[in-house]
Amino acid sequence: MSEVVKVVADAASSSEFTFKDYMYAAGACISVVSAVVALVSARWTFKRDLNSLGDSEVKIFELISKAESELVKFNVRLKEKIESEGNEFIFKESYRVELDCLSENLLNVYDVACQRYLDKKLDKKRFKKTYGTRIGRLFSNSLYKPYLGVDNLQYSALKMVNKILNNPEQ
């Protein structure tokens, strides 16, 4: 037994590196470099994802603003027509079709935004601050009631997000 201890002690006291020792050291260096590369890559990916998240929020804001703007432009044109014609104004079917199209377009854009909110692809706090009240107003506006009715299966994401953001019981 003492011979085994002596061999181990001799091996420990010798300062010569063998080929095996160099290979272990090279492997450890490669592992450290790989870990650093992985950390840098993860940081870049995280930054890219944050930028992408911000781009997505900006795009949704632009789409909602554009849809609201188109609806306002239609309402202004209609109001000018009513003022110019007075009592002779007739609300034509073409006006109804255009109003329906613009209303549904706005609701579709909000629904897509709400889908992204539910999929956790948007910042939830910022979304609530930006759109919580606006979504609540959609549900109280008589123009959108036919589309957002209880029996209507359309706009399910919009309805769900409205309950999440504007229902005090939840």
Q: What is the pLDDT of residue 51?
A: 53
Confidence category of residue 15, pLDDT binned at 50, 70, 90: low
21-37 as b/e: b if 16+ CB within 10 A: eeeeeeeeeeeeeeeee
Residue 110, number of CB atoms within 10 A of its CB? 25
Separation between Cα atoms, residue 163 and residue 148, nearest integer Å: 13
The CA-CA-CA angle for residues 26, 45, 123, to 5°, reads: 150
pLDDT by residue (tens digit) across 83-130?
998 888 888 999 999 999 999 999 999 999 999 999 988 888 999 999
Tens digits of residue pLDDT in 18-74: 888 888 888 888 888 888 888 877 777 766 665 566 568 889 999 999 999 999 999
- Give CA–CA dist 142/131, Å, rounded: 19
DSSP 93-105: HHHHHHHHHHHHH
In the chain, where are the structural domains located?
A: 2-166
Claim: this prediction has a pTM higher than 0.75: no
What type of residue sits at position 23? M
